[in-house]
Amino acid sequence: MYTVEVDVEIEPGSEAGLLLFYDSAHVCGLRLSSDPHARGLPKTMLVHGTRAMLRIVNDNQEATFSTGSRTAERQAHRESGRAMRSGRACAIHST
């Protein structure tokens, strides 16, 4: 089990994120953008603003993503490498 938590403050026109990365095609996580018109990328949860707490908790391959205001969970497959390559382990579902 591990937890990663960061308190991020960004300047106008900036973006920050906390991501789980397998390769360039398989990324999931949280993004903070100061641009109110920014669009979410596939498999990421977008938060608009200039400050946020971004957190990922991985407990036995079940990842929980939270921003202090929203939480999303994803249970990864046991064969994590194969699941990540297929894209199944990166889907984020808001709860």
Residues of the chain with pLDDT under 50: 75-95
- 3-state SS assignment for residue 39: coil
- Each residue's pLDDT tens digit, 47-61: 899 999 999 988 887
> What's residue 63's pLDDT?
82
Query: What domain range includes position 18?
Result: 2-94
* 85: β partners: none
- Residue 10: the pLDDT is 95
Q: Model pTM?
A: 0.69
Report pLDDT for 39.
85
Going edge to edge, which strands form the sheet with 44-48?
Answer: 15-23, 26-33, 44-48
Counting the structural domains of the chain, the total is 1
DSSP state of 69: S
**Per-residue pLDDT, 87:** 42
Separation of alpha carbons 81 and 64, rounded Å: 19
